[in-house]
Amino acid sequence: MSVELSDNRDEREDRDSCDSSESPERSAGSPERSAGSRPGGWLREVPQTVFRMAPWPTEAGLRIVGEPDRDSPVLVTCNYDLTVRRVMNALAGSDVWLVVAPTAGINVWCASSGGHMGTHQIVTALKTSGVEERVRHRRAILPQLAATGVEVREVSKRCGWKMRFGPVYANDLPRYLRDGQKKDATMRRVRFDPIERFEMSVTWGGPGVLILAGLAAILHPSFALPLAALTAALSLSVFFLYDRLREPRRVLIGVPALVLSLTLVAWADGGTAAFVVAVIAPLGLLALLTFDFSGSTPIEGGSHFAERDWSIVLDSERCRGVFSCLDVCPEDCFERQEEPRLAVQTHAERCIRCGACVVQCPQDALYFAANDGARIEPDTIRRFKLNLMGKRAVEIGPPDA
């Protein structure tokens, strides 16, 4: 078993450029000050939710939340517009500096996994945002889901900032800051609550409704409304039920959808074309919605992830009880053991193989392993990120590049 790796060094980012505070990327002008929820915010919220898989960049740089002083906390996030606005809204009432890193307009988890939110982008943001002139400390808080891409020890080595990982969700930030920047298990673990499920059903179903209903309105107007309703119903069913069903999951959702579709056509006394559409539409939509269902959720590894069937192995001989794995694992797979002091994989069955624990372990005590004995070493996980097809083929350059 092998790992697909890219060797295109011509596309490697120039990591040395961020070692200078005089980078041309330094933001001109004053930092943006948070004004809470702004009028018209929903006008961006709706399209950004429907077309969530597309980049939505906002300007990188420094944001001022509340009335921060030279001792106030510094937080870092991506420049995905929806994320920045939600983070700033969650921090309303707090006094913090928010550094927005240049991540190609991609959300934290996808940008970190795909090589767009890594050590280079964080160092660049800290050096060019102007935050260094506004605080007298060098401590910053990263979103926990950035742990797959950002090497915090490398950031400290290159620019002197000590990084730590905050909670998974922005809504937990006020409590995290009040509690002295300490996380409990509820702040570390990802959830997939009803609001998130609804948003993902809109993200996948929304474009389908627009495309199918739009085409039907042009070609056969009477099909437009039924196709829109079918798409919405299937999308909601998939994201609220699919992960809770046993295999064969597609059959358990697809058969009722097909029966209902055919029944409605028969009840409406539809013709041959209507029956053909009644068969093709639910099956085609179900295939599309479940194509990468697990990769669209925080609770399963991607369906097309090349290392989906691999395991993360903990080498107890190398572990020294730093517990960085416990701090960054979004599925709470690890627990502390004090005698002897080391981490223990108590819930390996939850692992989604995001690799955050591998990237952050200072002792390289974790690695990917396959059943046939093949393994992927930590340096490879740190150096190569995932492309859109789930292949570890995006090279971000070795640490000394």
Q: What does the H/E/C string look like for the chain?
A: CCCCCCCCHHHCCCHHHHHCCCCCCCCCCCCEECCCCCCCHHHHHHHHHHCCCCCCECCCEEEEECCCCCCCCEEEECCEHHHHHHHHHHCCCCCEEEEECCCCCCCHHHHHHHCCCCHHHHHHHHHHCCHHHCCCCCEEEECHHHHHCCCHHHHHHHHCCEEEECCCCHHHHHHHHHCCCCCCHHHHCCCCCHHHHHHHHHHHHHHHHHHHHHHHHHHCHHHHHHHHHHHHHHHHHHHHHHHHCCCCHHHHHHHHHHHHHHHHHHHCCCCHHHHHHHHHHHHHHHHHHCCCCHHHCCCCCCCCCCCCCCEEEECCCCCCCCCHHHHHCCCCCEEEEECCEEEEECCHHHCCCCCHHHHHCCCCCEEEECCCCCEECHHHHHHEEECCCCCEEEECCCCCC
Q: What is the pLDDT of residue 72?
A: 97
Q: What is the pLDDT of residue 358?
A: 94
**Would residue 363 count as lying in a domain?**
yes
* 212 and 261 belong to one structural domain: yes
**Would residue 35 count as lying in a domain?**
yes
**Would residue 117 count as lying in a domain?**
yes
CATH of the domain at 97: 3.40.50.11600
Q: How far apart are CA 171 and CA 199, in angstroms?
A: 16
pLDDT-flagged residues of the chain (< 50): 1-29, 398-401
Q: What is the pLDDT of residue 223?
A: 83
Q: How far apart are CA 15 and CA 322, in angstroms?
A: 28
**Would residue 345 count as lying in a domain?**
yes
Give pTM, 2 decimals. 0.82
**Would residue 3 count as lying in a domain?**
no
Q: What is the pLDDT of residue 188?
A: 94
* 228 and 344 belong to one structural domain: no
* 356 and 208 belong to one structural domain: no
* 357 and 339 belong to one structural domain: yes
Q: What is the number of structural domains in the chain?
A: 3
Write the pLDDT tens digit of every residue in 11-46.
333 333 333 333 333 344 467 766 555 555 677 888
Q: What is the pLDDT of residue 225?
A: 87
Q: How far apart are CA 146 and CA 164, in angstroms?
A: 11
Q: What is the pLDDT of residue 396?
A: 65
Q: What is the pLDDT of residue 2?
A: 37
Pairing mode, strands 96-100 and 61-65:
antiparallel
Report the candidate in 141, 190, 167 with the shortest Cα–Cα distance to residue 350. 190
* 330 and 352 belong to one structural domain: yes
Q: Mark which of 134, 162, 188 sits at the end of a domain.
A: 188
**Would residue 281 count as lying in a domain?**
yes
Task: Tell me the residue range of the domain where 283 lies.
Answer: 197-296
User: Are residues 251 and 197 in contact, defined by beta-carbon separation less than 8 angstroms?
Assistant: no
**Would residue 305 count as lying in a domain?**
no
C-alpha distances out from residue 135 to 70, 128, 253, Å: 4, 14, 55
Q: Mark which of 169, 188, 207 sits at the end of a domain.
A: 188
Q: How far apart are CA 142 and CA 77, in angstroms?
A: 7
Q: What is the pLDDT of residue 8?
A: 37
Q: What is the pLDDT of residue 169?
A: 95
